[in-house]
Amino acid sequence: MTARIERPLSPHIQTYRWTLTMALSIVHRATGIALYVGTLLLAWWLIAAASGPAAYAHVQAFSGSIIGRLIVFGYTWALMHHMLSGIRHFVWDLGYGFKANEREALTWGALIGGIVLTVLVWIIAYAIGGGR
């Protein structure tokens, strides 16, 4: 009789060597969850704007604080990264970008592009808004 080999029935994370593509696939899911939370904050802002100056002032005070700006900056990054990762997944759904070098290029493009777009959005917002 042959000895039974103890191994997982299905592949586990410990089995695989981590790659940037794997990590950003997980980050894509996390940014999707973050967008839900950020959209609640966006809804709070819209409801406050419709409710009157006092309610709007509270939201503006929160979003103008350091914590509020960090949250809005994170929401902006999550939005940009999730969008670019979604485009990456769409390219894969079309049947392209599966070669190792193409997969890496798409992944790096989503990572760097999300950061660059976030910084650009904030630079433009500060230029238009005067740093308010």
129 pLDDT band (50/70/90 cuts)? Answer: confident
Q: Which long-range contacts (CB under 8 A, 24 or more apart) does 38-44 make?
A: 38/71, 38/74, 38/75, 38/78, 38/79, 41/71, 41/72, 41/75, 42/75
| Least confident range of 5-14, 22-31, 72-81, 95-104 | 5-14
**pLDDT tens-digit series, residues 95-127:** 999 999 999 999 999 999 999 999 999 999 999
For the cut 90, the answer to whether the pLDDT of residue 2 exceeds it is no
Give mean pLDDT, residues 71-89: 96
Amino acid code (one letter) for 132: R
pLDDT single digits (tens) 60-76: 999 999 999 999 999 99
Mean pLDDT confidence for 49-53: 97
| pLDDT, greater one: 28 or 2 | 28
Q: Burial, 87: exposed, middle or buried (Cβ in 10 Å; 0-12, 13-18, 19+)? A: middle
**Which tokens belong to 22?**
């794997």
Residue partners of 111: CB distance under 8 A and separation at least 6 = 20, 24, 81
pLDDT at 35: 97
